[in-house]
Amino acid sequence: MSVKVCNLIGGAWKDAGTGEMFERRNPADVQEVVARVTLSGREDVDCAVEAARNAFPGWRLMPAPKRGELLFRAGEILLRRKDVMGQMVTREMGKVLPEGMGDVQEAIDMAFYMAGEGRRLCGETVPSELPDKDCKSVREPHGVMALITPWNFPTAIPAWKIFPALICGNTVVLKPSSCTPACAAMLVEALVEAGIPPGVVNLIHGPGEDVGEYLATHPEVDAVSFTGSCAAGERLESKLGRIHRPVATEMGGKNAIIIMDDADLSLALEGVLWGGFGTSGQRCTAASRVVVHERIHDQFLDRLLGAAGRLRLGDGLSKSTDVGPVVNEQQMKRVLDYLRVGVDEGASLALGGKRAEDGALARGYFIEPTVFDDVAPAMRIAQEEIFGPVVSVIRCSGIEEAIAIANDVRFGLSSSIYSKNVNTTAMAERDLRTGLVYINASTIGAEIQLPFGGWKHSGSGHPEAGGRGGALEFYSRMKVIYRDFSGKLQKAQID
Ligand code: UN1
């Protein structure tokens, strides 16, 4: 059964002015229409931005703990709807149901966490160098924020952006991926039901190249947060840089798991399967490279091929499925192209390597879990983000070489090391150049109470999620206030 998905503008759910619709189909079975969605044009964006602009003065002045209460209520609504929303995640983008539920759980966690931030939103008070004068910094919202989100975490990523934006006092216009409009609508619905005032959260649907860019560069938008492809993110950064608009981007990854010769190989194997093939490899934190010590290479590869070969492809709603489809035909073609590139570059195709089309799988976009062996660190399959169920195995002779290989890519989001030697893991912890480092755990599984963000070309360096240096740093800006109660002109640095 398909749902109809509208825009939300100024508190009203409505069809776009274009009168046009588009469909979202289930990537596990393209015969199933999951959502029929209103297709926005530029006028709809104008209306959404205007609604957010009008709602801003009132929302900004609502005490932050009160804003927090509304977020808390939204969290409770999401918790009650976790099952239904988790199923929608699976039907709209394909990940297996436990992961779909995890996606929603991450949104719930973020709602409760950011609700609590309403009673902190800390600035600083510091002594003045002059008598009868005090100094403090306070957090202020930007104003209207444009939030552009991808399909791979269709509930979690919009939540990572909406909740910190709201608690800081911004109003928002969300433009989710056209692959996951219903998930975004369900998230926004929870906020509406929690009592968020009209216009504080607005939702529009439409293609990124047109509607998304028009929104991000709109003259009435004050700041932009984007998660998605490198191409789109870099284009936005350069456009917004020219108009001095704050922008946070989270883009690609080429994350490595290092497995040393003293590692617990069973644990490492589970980590590679989870990191490489979970969400069909469609995570920016996916473990797409495995750097294995040469002494255990053959033994580990054998076990990896056995275990990955047993993973069952299928509809993510079925309990027996380990790996779901990739999100759409375009993505499937992109991944299949990379599989050809790997073979042409001279890597050994050790497992998988093609579309899976047996029986019901032919109705979806399934790709066999794929393992390349004998991968050289400079090959394209070891350098570029593939975003599919593809793992490249690279040999190394020791920890220094392993770290050098892991670091030698343009991305720097996540990395992991498996070893029982505390000195080895400490060296990795110190020298891996990524925003996230996992020890004896896979490259995925970031928790929301610490910053999440990549180094180098993985993003703009404004992390999301919580903790010191997390999302609040970007979703608010600091205002510094000096109050002089001496009754005379005092000159800093001079008196
Ligand atoms: C992503 O990889 O695209 O770390 C986001 C995780 C999740 C978020 C991942 N909390 O696995």
| Stated pTM of the model | 0.97
52 contact partners, CB below 8 Å, separation of at least 6: 144, 171, 172, 173, 199, 200, 202
145 contact partners, CB below 8 Å, separation of at least 6: 161, 165, 170, 171, 172, 173, 221, 222, 223, 224, 225, 475
Residue 444: per-residue pLDDT: 97
Question: Measured in angstroms, how far is the CA atom of residue 446 from the centroid of ligand 1?
Answer: 6
* Whole-number Å distance between alpha carbons of 21 and 1: 17
Residue 209: per-residue pLDDT: 85
Instruction: Find tokens 């922008």 and name the residue.
Output: 247
Residue of 476, 463, 465, 469 lying closest to 170 (CA atoms): 476
Residue 398: per-residue pLDDT: 98
Beta-ladder partners of 137: 124, 480
Residue of 347, 350, 346, 348 lying closest to 369 (CA atoms): 350
153 lines ligand 1 (CB under 6 A): yes
Residue 440 contacts residue 425 (beta carbons within 8 Å): yes
Residue of 86, 162, 105, 151 lying closest to 464 (CA atoms): 162
Question: Measured in angstroms, how far is the CA atom of residue 395 from the centroid of ligand 1?
Answer: 26
Which atom of ligand 1 is nearest the CA belonging to 447?
10
47 is catalytic: no
Range 310-333 burial, b when 16+ CB lie within 10 A, else e: ebebbbbbeeebbbbbbbbeebbe
Which atom of ligand 1 is nearest the CA belonging to 157?
5
Residue 208: per-residue pLDDT: 83
Which atom of ligand 1 is nearest the CA belonging to 106?
10
Average pLDDT of each block of 10 consecutive residues along the chain (495 residues)? Answer: 96 97 98 98 97 98 98 98 98 98 98 98 97 98 98 98 98 98 98 98 93 97 97 96 98 98 98 98 98 98 98 98 98 98 98 98 98 98 98 98 98 98 98 98 98 97 96 98 98 93
Residue 73: per-residue pLDDT: 98
pLDDT digits (tens, 9 = 90+) for 287-338: 999 999 999 999 999 999 999 999 999 999 999 999 999 999 999 999 999 9
Question: Measured in angstroms, how far is the CA atom of residue 254 from the centroid of ligand 1?
Answer: 13
283 lines ligand 1 (CB under 6 A): yes
* Whole-number Å distance between alpha carbons of 443 and 78: 27
* Whole-number Å distance between alpha carbons of 98 and 438: 22
Residue 141: per-residue pLDDT: 98
92 lines ligand 1 (CB under 6 A): no
445 lines ligand 1 (CB under 6 A): yes
Question: Measured in angstroms, how far is the CA atom of residue 108 from the centroid of ligand 1?
Answer: 15
189 lines ligand 1 (CB under 6 A): no
Residue 426 contacts residue 406 (beta carbons within 8 Å): no
* Whole-number Å distance between alpha carbons of 108 and 86: 12
CA distances from 31 to 93, 179, 324, 495 (A): 14, 15, 16, 77
pLDDT digits (tens, 9 = 90+) for 206-245: 988 889 999 999 999 999 999 999 999 999 999 999 999 9
Options 168, 183, 230, 284, the catalytic residue: 284
Residue 1: per-residue pLDDT: 83
| Structural domains for the chain | 3-251+458-481 (3.40.605.10), 255-439 (3.40.309.10)
Angle between the N-to-C axes of helices 181-194 and 82-93, in degrees from 0 to 180, rounded to the nearest 10: 160
149 contact partners, CB below 8 Å, separation of at least 6: 157, 158, 161, 174, 175, 176, 177, 184, 227, 228
Residue 276 contacts residue 389 (beta carbons within 8 Å): yes
284 is catalytic: yes
Residue of 217, 214, 212 lying closest to 229 (CA atoms): 212
Instruction: Find tokens 């033994």 and name the residue.
Output: 299
Options 106, 117, 189, 250, the catalytic residue: 250
Residue 433: per-residue pLDDT: 98
